[in-house]
Structures are given as structure tokens and as C-alpha cells.
Homo-oligomer: A and B are copies of this chain.
Amino acid sequence: MSKRKICVVVTARPSYSRVKTALKAIQEHPKLELQLVIAGSALLDRYGKAIDFIEKDGFKATEKVFMVLEGENPTAMAKTTGLGVMELSNVFYNLQPDAVITIADRFETIATSIAAAYQNIPLVHIQGGEVTGNIDEKVRHANTKLADIHLVASEDARERVIKMGEDTDKVITTGCPSIDIAREIAESPNLDFNPVEKYGGVGASVNWENGYIVVMQHPVTNEYNQAKEDVLKTLRAVHKLNYPTFWFWPNVDAGSDGTSNGIRSFREQHQPENIHFFKNMEPSDFLRLLKNSKCLIGNSSVGIRECSFLGIPVVNIGTRQNRRKRGVNVIDVDYDENVIYNAIVSSMERSGLEPEHIYGDGNSGRKIADILAELELSYFKTIAY
């Protein structure tokens, strides 16, 4: 019997870490063949070149697709997506997969959805049904309406997808594969590498061995003119705290220039002595770094998902994670220097939090592969009401 060909399109570093264990499980499954398409910012130096990590993890790109338009503004986002539709249409036409997987909600993921759905290839959407309240949410739900099978991360997400009219049989809670990596980390949590030696980075040489915090703050797309101002508030709070800090540059999105410029100008002006900056890190190293940190600050979804499983305190700033189901580990704050400062101080004292399984129990990758191997694949659907 021939294997089912499962084509996964990875377009960015964070998307990769969200599906890594699923990729592995697909690759190893006796009834599945993995077709891995690496596209978009995952190929680009400026955004941490996820392809290097991916290949190091033992995967091989079946096809690579350049598609990111310069500009980091809304027009470039739209055109990148259009280009993606055109390129991925060709890729799917030539690869003839049995199913295509599109991941979550980045703007370009809808390119995968269109290229597959219009060519009558069953489309699987991972991590639908969540709520964030900006263009990402529009994209996520549009992906849901184009997809045939929905593998969601949490029960509340499943309910939402079903309410939108999807067939209950086709909406399955698998948890999020990123939690699988968190589980591995939780099982052997030692920080077994020197972050600065391994990843270089720029900025102060901080004394992190007796404790540190981690910051990862992305621009919020629909407010991109404020990205610089927003990040400066966090920078000031963290600078004032004067505690050893590892800070990660934002990923590609309209406005990342604003955030990046904010960081650059703050560095030029203040040369903060407690902050070391990283461009990126292998996902498992990143989680290990978090696991050993006092807390995470910013607006990354890692704070909501993995950190709840790992029991790490999080200061979640602003609206980016709004209405995502969260655990007790999260303190939500507004863009306000003092409020951020105080929340960090409180969070640093919250050690020993219990793990929560909101986004999966750590076996999502394998569950996803099993479903892809067994579930009936079809591209016909109609709304349930």
C-alpha cells in the first residue's frame, strides 16, 4: 500500500517550533510520507533562518520558496501572500500531496490554504479556533473556513471551530505539538549549554548564572506605528530592574522595524548593562532557557502555551494574546512602564508553579500523525447549519 503524502508548509521560525514533533512523527509513521516545504521568512537571514535549525533536526526541504516582499508594511504582507499563493500552487501541483497542512494564523498561511483548497487537495489546519483580536484572527478563521480537517490545541478552540459551522467529526483536539518539546524539557530541565557561547548575540555581557529573566516582545500588527513606543516601555522597565536579562529580537511582521528600531535606539542611547540580545535560538534550547528563568516578559504565545505547561511565571503585555486561554502563571498588564516593572517583580517571586495541560499533554505530534494516517481525507464540505 502506498503511503499518504502529507505536505507541510513552514513559513517562519515560530511555526516550525509549533509543529516540529508532528513533523518528526509524520516522518517516522509507516503509513505517511512527509513533503516539507520551507518558505517565506524561514529561508531568510534577517529572521533567524529557521531552515538551518530544521535541517539540523534531520529534516530535508522537499522544496524551498522565496516569497517575502520587502517593506514590512501591510502592503508587503498582502503581496507576500499573493506571491505565496502563486508559488505554492505550483509546488502542490508538482508534488501532488494527499493532504496539505497549514499552521495557525500568520498572514501568509492563507496562501497555503488557497493553493491547496482551490486545487481540491484536502486541507488540514493546525491550531484554529483561537482568539487574538487582530488580522491574525481574521486569517485564522478564514483558514478554518477553507480547511477540511481541524486539529486544535485546546477544548475552547474546538468549541469555537464547531460553532463556526464545521463538522464535529472533523474537529479534533490534539493539543499543540510545541508542548511536546516542553514535556521533554520538563523531564530533564538542566540548562546544559551556555547561551552566550552557543548563540553569541550582542549587548552587555550579563552575569546570568545566578538567575535571569527573558523578554520576547513582538509588534502588534494593526498598531504598527506604536511598535517602537510599546517596546520602549518594556525596555525602560527592564533597564530599571537592572536584573540579568536575555532579550529576543522580534520576528518578521509589519512593524518589526518599529520594534527593532526601538531596541536599537535604546541600546545606542542607554547601553543597558543588564541586557543581552539574541536573534534566535533552537526551540528546545529556548524552552530550556525559559524553564531555568525567573520569568518571561512580553507578548509571545510561548508565555501562554509552553510556560503554563512548564510552570513558568509570565508577564504578558498588551493585547496580542487577548482571549487566549491561559493558566495561573500569567499576569496580564498594559503598556505602562511602572505596571510592567511591578508585574515582573511579583512574577519573579512565583517559583514552583504547578504545570497545567491546557494546550496538550505532550503527545500532540504523535496524535496528529495518527490522525493523518487514519482519518478519511476529503475536500468536500458544507456549513453545518
Chain A, residues 67-91, CB within 8 Å of chain B (1/0): the string is 1111100111111011111110110
A243 adjacent to chain B (CB < 8 Å) = no
Complex contact A382–B222 (CB within 8 A):
no
Which of the segments A116-124, A191-199, A299-307, A367-375 contacts the partner chain?
A116-124
Give the number of times this chain occurs in the complex, counting copies. 4
Complex contact B385–A160 (CB within 8 A):
yes
Contacts of A208 in B (CB 8 A): none
Contacts of A241 in B (CB 8 A): none
Contacts of A211 in B (CB 8 A): none
Complex contact B81–A83 (CB within 8 A):
no
Shortest Cβ gap from A129 to chain B (Å): 9
A334 adjacent to chain B (CB < 8 Å) = no
A111 adjacent to chain B (CB < 8 Å) = yes
Which secondary structure dominates chain A's binding surface?
Answer: helix
- Looking at the complex, which one of B68, B79, B89, B165 makes contact with A78 (CB distance below 8 Å)? B89
A1 adjacent to chain B (CB < 8 Å) = no
List the B residue with the shortest CB-CB distance to A130.
B383
Contacts of A379 in B (CB 8 A): 222
Contacts of A133 in B (CB 8 A): 380, 382
Complex contact A94–B64 (CB within 8 A):
yes
Chain A interface (Cβ < 8 Å from any Cβ of B): 41, 43-46, 63-71, 74-79, 81-87, 89-90, 93-94, 107, 110-111, 113-115, 117-120, 131-135, 137-139, 141-146, 160, 163-165, 202, 222, 257, 268, 322-323, 379-383, 385
